[in-house]
Amino acid sequence: MVENKSGSPAMKAVLLLGAVAAVALISVPAVADNQNQGDQGQQGVQYGPAYEAPRRGDRAVDDGRPPNLHRQCFNGKSIAGVNRSGAQTVYLQSQQGGIYQMRLTGACDGLNNAEKLTVRANGSDLICSGDSAELIARISATAKRCHVTGVRRLTTQEVSVLASAAR
């Protein structure tokens, strides 16, 4: 049996090579599956017509509603942050920046101890306002599934109220 010591030059070279490979993998952007990105006609069919904000002259007026319907969807695997408010309300921030409110049907034991969260709706990772969904809380080697009765994207005013309440 050959004993490998971490101080040997060969081991140092292997560790250095591993570190360089890890940095290279981290710095390479992930490839996203954006099947309909850029195909506005198809997105309109899939998600409904885009919401156009009211305009005053050449400037859009913020009426508190999300800017358009197709931006009210997010990838359930790309979650930037989660906050729980009481036993049955979860606020989720998508990687794209939208804040979504999700109502749970039960207390969802284990959610507070989750190492990773994902959301699925109808067998898909695409979650849109109005969907019923499933919040999956991964805890060690197990997963706790929690039923979500409704998902909705918060308006800019609602986000402001939440932000000021958190201070």
3-state secondary structure the chain: CCCCCCCCHHHHHHHHHHHHHHHHHHHCCCCCCCCCCCCHHHHHHHHCCCCCCCEECCEECCCCCCCCHHHHEEECCCEEEEEECCCCEEEEEECCCCEEEEEECCCCCCHHHCCEEEEEECCECEEECCCCEEEEEEECCEEEEEEEEEEEECCHHHHHHHHHHHC
pLDDT category, 166, cuts 50, 70, 90? confident
pTM of the model: 0.57
The whole-number pLDDT of residue 10 equals 59
Question: Is 23's pLDDT higher than 50?
Answer: no
Write down the domain spans for the chain.
Answer: 40-166
pLDDT in tens, 29-47: 433 333 333 333 333 333 3
**More confidently predicted of 144 and 8:** 144
